[in-house]
Amino acid sequence: MMLKKGRPLVVAGLPSEVAHLGNWEAVRAFLEVARTGSFRAASQTLHLSVNTLRRHIEDFEKETQTKLFTRHADGVRLTCEAEGLVAAAQRMELASFDMVRSRAPDPSVRGEVRLSVTEGLGSFWVAPQMVEFQRKYPDILIDLQCSMRPADVLRLESDIGIQIVRPADNDLRMVKLGRMHTMPFASREYLAHHGRPKDFREMSGHKLVLQVSEQPDLLAFERVFPGISQVGFVSIRTNTSSAHFWAVLNGAGIGILPTYIAPMRLVEPIDMNMRFAHDILLTYHPDLAKIPRVRLVIDWLVEAFSPKRYPWFCDDFIHPQDLPDDVDGLSLVAPQKGN
């Protein structure tokens, strides 16, 4: 459907105060200030002057008739009224990505794209789905670099990065793909032999599998178990997600794993009031996004982590027992043809 000049974009499913906004730049400015908590940091990310950014925020306040931010010594904070606009504005952001992706891609695009991904997401989520992308674009070679250390995208260690650490470089573009939720899991064999703990007090007599890395630890041991020695309690401590997963799967103990592995039904979740969450962030240099093959990979990654399609990446925690076994026939182990 063609939009007439001067007509605002209407996004279905959004509150009326956001759905009929005609100034997407104002919405984007609002989201970035909300994410960074700073006008200066947001202006650097969006490559706008602070004055221009402030004008966008003022426009958004007029359109929504809402005071958006209050000033504090350490930056700005959302008002209570503005907090309700964030989720709606994020859906509008996703709608803008859908519009970009709707353009017919050029199957003749060819070349190499270097993609760095935190090791667990790369091994258990990105790599299995990559097969379908390669079927569509056989002449694009994706150099998948799975590492627990975030690649320096700004210094061209990688073209695109996916990480759970917010980058410090303001020259990079950043897109929140979704949220990674984690909780305790154990193998059925382990639970059959040792029982299922219900809370921290019942962890005595159990073994813990611990992962530590340069990315945020999925379990901050000293904070969760203060004053407890790891010796005698931790059975295996490893620095990679794959080794951590295989240790848990083979009965070495209880480990903190992401809920997106739940549909595999290989390990069982344990309800003991231990849940953690990290934003999944996509980063890239804006100049590289102008290269067609890089743009195709970026668009594909946004879709590959879509919370709408894959509910385990939603902002809100969804218990593994409420997650589907698959999505449109997509398996976590191997994507099915036709998706």
Task: Identify the CATH number of the domain in which residue 125 sits.
Answer: 3.40.190.10
How many residues belong to the chain? Answer: 339
If asked whether residues 153 and 21 sit together in one domain, one would say no
Per-residue model confidence as pLDDT tens digits over 231-276: 988 999 998 889 999 999 999 999 999 999 887 788 999 998 888 8
Q: Is residue 187 part of a domain?
A: no
Render pLDDT for 41-100 as a digit per residue (tens, 0 to 9).
888 877 788 888 899 889 888 888 889 899 888 888 888 888 888 888 877 776 665 565
Q: Check whether 20 has a pLDDT greater than 50.
A: no
- Comparing 37 with 90, which gets the higher pLDDT? 37
256 within domain boundaries: no
Q: What is the pLDDT of residue 153?
A: 60
Quote the pTM value: 0.62
Burial class (CB in 10 A: 0-12, 13-18, 19+), 266: middle
- Total tally of structural domains belonging to the chain: 2
The predicted structure's pLDDT at residue 96: 66
* 308-322: pLDDT as tens digits: 889 999 999 999 888
* pLDDT tens-digit readout, 203-214: 888 999 998 876
Q: Which contacts of 191-198 are long-range, i.e. CB under 8 A and separated by 24 or more positions? A: 191/268, 191/270, 193/251, 196/270, 197/254, 197/270, 197/272, 198/271, 198/272
CA distance 311 to 260: 9
Same domain (yes/no): 74, 27: yes
136, 91: one domain: no
* CB neighbour list of residue 218: distance below 8 Å, 6 or more residues apart: 182, 211, 256, 257, 258, 276
pLDDT (tens digit per residue) in 167-202:
766 677 888 999 999 999 999 999 999 999 988 778
Q: What is the pLDDT of residue 204?
A: 80
Mean pLDDT of 152-165: 74
- pLDDT tens profile 85-111: 888 887 777 666 556 545 545 556 789
Query: Among 70, 100, 130, where does a domain finish?
Result: 100
Share of the chain above pLDDT 70, in %: 78
d(CA 25, CA 59): 10
Give the integer Cα–Cα distance in Å for 122 and 117: 5
The answer to whether position 84 is within a domain reads: yes
Q: Is residue 29 assigned to a domain?
A: yes
Q: What is the CATH number of the domain that holds 28?
A: 1.10.10.10
Q: Are residues 55 and 120 in the same domain?
A: no
Instruction: Point out which residues pair with 70 in neighbouring strands.
Output: 77
Q: Do 76 and 146 fall into the same domain?
A: no
**Looking at the domain assignment, is residue 55 inside a domain?**
yes
Q: Which domain holds residue 21?
A: 16-100
The reply to whether 37 and 63 lie within a common domain is yes
User: Residue 1: is its pLDDT beyond 50?
Assistant: no
Query: Looking at the structure, do residues 157 and 31 belong to the same domain, yes or no?
Result: no
Q: Do the domain assignments include residue 60?
A: yes
Q: CB under 8 Å, gap of 24 or more: what pairs does 214-218 form?
A: 214/148, 214/149, 214/150, 215/118, 215/148, 215/149, 215/150, 215/163, 215/164, 215/165, 216/164, 216/165, 216/278, 218/182, 218/256, 218/257, 218/258, 218/276
Q: Which of 43, 66, 100 is the last residue of a domain?
A: 100
Q: How confident is the model at residue 301 (pLDDT cuts 50, 70, 90)?
A: very high
More confident residue, 10 or 158: 158
Please indicate, yes or no, if residue 58 is contained in any of the structural domains: yes
The pLDDT value recorded for residue 209 is 92
Q: 265 in a domain, yes or no?
A: no
